[in-house]
Chain A
Amino acid sequence: MSIKQLHHLLPGESAKIISFHTDLTLQSRLVEMGILPGVEIRLMKKGPFKGPIEIKVRGYEVALRYKDAMHINVS
């Protein structure tokens, strides 16, 4: 189980969130939405041209920006 960043996942691939990069100001909001270390997610879809990334987490679907996904470590 190697650590990589969320945007490296392929559509349909599942992973567990490990940690957030300190630069990710968004993390306070992500965790309030239940997206926190230890939680499993599945990457659903990547928008074209490094557009937003859609993930499934806790039974709902949510979109993040590509540059934010780069700051989320998963394995």
Chain B
Amino acid sequence: MDNNMPLIALMGNPNTGKTAIFNLLTGMNQKVSNYPGITVEQRRGNAQLKENCAVQIMDMPGTYSLTPESLDEKIVAQQTLKWLNGIDRTAAIISVVDAGNLSRNLYLTSQVMDLGIPVIIALNMMDRVMQKNQNIDGIKLQKMLGVQAVVPMSAREKWGIEELQTELLNVIKLENSEISSHLQIKIPKEIEKIINPISEFLIDKNNYDNYITNIQALRIITRKSALELYSECENLNGAEIKSLTLLRDNVAFEIDELGMNHRILEATLRFDMLDRALNDQNLIIQNEIKQISRSERVDKILTHKWVGPLIFIALLYGIFQSIFTWATIPMQYIDSGVGYLGNYCVQIFSPGILRDLLVEGIISGVGAILIFLPQILILMFFMTILEDTGYMARVAFMMDKLMNKIGLHGKSVLPLMSGYACAIPGIMATRTIDSWKERLITIIVLPLISCSARLPVYTLMIGAFIPNKPILGFLNLQGLTMVLMYFLGTVTAMVIAAIISRFIEEKGKSSFVMEMPPYRMPLAVSLFRQVYTRGKLFVINAGKIIMAISIVLWFLASFPKPESDEVTFSIQNSYAGKIGHAIEPLIAPLGFDWKIGVGLITSFAAREVMVSTLATLYNVEDEGDDFVGITEALKNEVNPLTGLPRYTPLVALSIMVFYVYAAQCMATFAIVKNETNSWKWPLIMIVYMTGLAYIGSLLVYQGGQFLGFV
């Protein structure tokens, strides 16, 4: 993208339709990338304005204020501090405001106005206001605040966007000097005097004007995170931080002595100014709290004490049911497509190491992950619907108490549920949890939730060794075993969360303040766009790692080549085979032989690789990865020592329990490393999960044998 285009920032509270406006302005011309160093998504796109002028729009995470509470919000706050220092300043800011909730939304807008950058207010969701036979006078509001423009609009009904583009063009043509003076807080003289020591510190450090200095001083005394943010952005040294903290503590004390409250001072002054101005201009919509909204009536059922959770469980059941049924056909297509591609490459390339690497290593390895794409996309489709309708906020509301008991957060429910498809998007979704401790615990236990990559292993083992017998008339032993595996993972995740929450120290206090957005129909366009971008990120992130590991595994399984051509190559003699034999004594107590051992090692790329590894080991490649072939091979395998079948239902159960717990997906740990910014947590996870897997399998196999099962 062209970096010479003027940059426009899109800012606003959560749930104001910011992203819908972003989509309308930029069309398909957008790019999702990560902020440097951290994996918070940054969305940028080009917007074509009239008169052949184009701008770049930057969509910022939704936030309530410029003092951060969560990781997402910190990004916004850091960015604005940079702008204050004149670094990468944007040409203008579009402040997206929910017209139905004007007074709260204007808080952020008024903080943003202080930055000295031209502000255009996109007064979104006007359709809702007009439905109630009310109106907001945009010109009056514009004059009252002193912003460049106020554009009443509805991104949902797609009107007002042209006016917004026109105003953007006007602002870009402005010279800096033409910024009008805006509505400012009147800081009482006595407070100005008290905060003066901090103001002096700031003036020494920055070139802020008098007003900005006072505003920054007020912000720094509200809470620790504001002070930390400032110190971080200004690269303060230890001594400076110490003296600023001391100044802050003194000032806070003096303010409280005056009978005021330092923690709410900025907001009190700001809302006082805003509410008064709105009232004077008659822009306030009266008595809103008495109205019973449609959402509130719907919530009487959906978040009802008993009915609510039942509906939630029914929805979950429906979603999982459809994931498994709808995905079957596309998965078969992908499977045969990958097979076709492999065969095609075999035909057009001459035999040799490069062809083997391409076909056996890269195509089969990447194909193994692509096959789960349908399941992941379907799950993301439903998750996005639940999120966009506003239902997920209600789930967090219903589950917070229960989750809090085991050290998690109401907002942990969504990531944990995503974990049934794949841990990676789940881990990425934990960013919305404002408490570091609860976010970390959610990440740590998330890989215990059985993801779709375990499914092929469960399917293979259950299909081969668990009898298809009815139980209690309506249940089936195979289905029940499957449910049991999912249940085992989920319950263990809860128990582990409860245990480790006692050992992890809290950075800041846990809180739960969650807006319950009104229920609304999701927009088809934004729904599919979100599913598409999330799916793409998954394929790219996981694909890179899987490709690399596939190559390494292919090498281990294919080398060293036998010296003479007469000896046929056997995987037993490969590096992988040797490793398998080497670890056999270790895994024998679990009922596993060296072949399973090789599968365990290759599973580090991705769990489902176990199935294809076994397929390779049993030389059934000729039949493709036909499950029947592997099933028969597994059933017919004989233990040379006893002459009895090598694999029994007990061994199958032991393998499945191992797969429920084991830390086998390198991509997951790479993401955890990214999200927690250290190798400490991924390493802890690998250790505890491997321990659980070993002990779990050991108990199943040895306990089963003790009880007389074979």
Contacts and interface: CB of A to CB of B under 8 A. Distances in A.
B512 A63 contact: yes
Contacts of B101: 58-60
Interface stretch (B261-269, B570-578, B685-693): B261-269
A51 B511 contact: no
A30 B268 contact: no
B290 A20 contact: no
Pick the most buried of B100, B289, B295, B396: most chain A CB atoms within 10 A of its CB. B289
B84 interface: no
A37 to B, nearest CB: 8
B230 interface: no
Interface string A32-72: 11101100111011011111101011111111111010000
A1 interface: no
A66 B288 CA distance: 24
Q: How large is the interface on A (under 10, 10 to 19, 20 to 34, 35 or more residues)?
A: 35 or more
B511 A58 contact: no
Nearest to A44: B296
Given A27-B264, A45-B303, A52 B401 contact: yes
B520 interface: no
Interface stretch (B27-35, B64-72, B116-124): B64-72
Contacts of B410: 52
A26 interface: yes
Contacts of B261: 20, 27
Contacts of A34: 103-104, 107, 271
B397 A29 contact: no
B285 interface: yes
A28 B299 CA distance: 28
Contacts of A75: none
A18 to B, nearest CB: 12
Contact of A60 (B268, B400, B509, B515): B515
B397 A42 contact: no
A37 B271 CA distance: 11
Nearest to B222: A28
Given A26-B513, A61-B295, A32 B289 contact: no
A74 to B, nearest CB: 13
Interface in B511-568: 511-516, 518
Interface string A3-43: 00000000000100000100001111111111011001110
B397 A54 contact: yes
Given A14-B290, A29-B64, A34-B271, A63 B514 contact: yes
Given A32-B267, A33-B64, A40-B289, A50 B401 contact: yes
A58 B515 contact: no
Nearest to A50: B401
B331 to A, nearest CB: 39
Contact of B264 (A20, A63, A64): A20
A45 B303 CA distance: 9
Given A29-B64, A47-B401, A58-B103, A64 B513 contact: yes
B267 A47 contact: no
Contact of B516 (A25, A50, A61): A61
A56 B263 contact: no
A64 B512 contact: yes
A50 B305 CA distance: 12
Contacts of A32: 64-65, 67, 107, 267
B288 A59 contact: yes
Contacts of A52: 397, 400-401, 410, 512, 514
Pick the most buried of A45, A49, A66, A68: most chain B CB atoms within 10 A of its CB. A45
A45 B285 CA distance: 23
A62 B514 contact: yes
A47 B318 CA distance: 25
Contact of A25 (B65, B289, B511, B515): B511
Contacts of A62: 513-516
Contacts of B303: 45, 47
Interface in B387-426: 393, 396-398, 400-401, 404, 410
Given A44-B296, A54-B516, A25 B264 contact: no
B663 to A, nearest CB: 33
A48 B397 contact: no
A28 B263 contact: yes
Contacts of B293: 61
A45 to B, nearest CB: 7
Contact of B69 (A27, A29, A47): A29
B267 A31 contact: yes
A34 B109 CA distance: 13
A41 B289 contact: yes
Contact of B397 (A26, A36, A37, A47): A47
B289 A57 contact: yes
B401 A51 contact: yes
A56 B289 CA distance: 6
Contacts of A36: 264, 267-268, 271
A30 B400 CA distance: 18
A56 B296 CA distance: 10
Interface string B247-270: 000000000000001011001100
A14 B67 contact: no
Contact of A14 (B289, B401, B509): B289
Given A36-B268, A45-B299, A64-B513, A58 B104 contact: yes
A49 B648 CA distance: 47
A23 to B, nearest CB: 10
Contacts of B182: none
B512 A27 contact: no
A32 B518 CA distance: 20
Nearest to B15: A60
Interface string B276-312: 0000000001001110010110010001010000000
Contacts of A26: 509, 511, 513
B456 to A, nearest CB: 39
Interface of A: 14, 20, 25-34, 36-37, 40-42, 44-45, 47-52, 54, 56-66, 68
Given A52-B410, A62-B516, 7 more contacts: A14-B289, A28-B264, A30-B513, A58-B103, A58-B104, A61-B295, A61-B518
CB-CB nearest 10 A-B residue pairs: A31-B267, A59-B288, A51-B401, A32-B65, A34-B104, A61-B516, A31-B264, A48-B305, A42-B289, A28-B223
9 contacts: A20-B261, A33-B64, A33-B515, A47-B397, A47-B398, A57-B289, A58-B101, A58-B289, A59-B289
Interface of B: 64-65, 67, 69, 100-104, 107, 222-223, 261, 263-264, 267-268, 271, 285, 288-290, 293, 295-296, 299, 303, 305, 393, 396-398, 400-401, 404, 410, 508-509, 511-516, 518
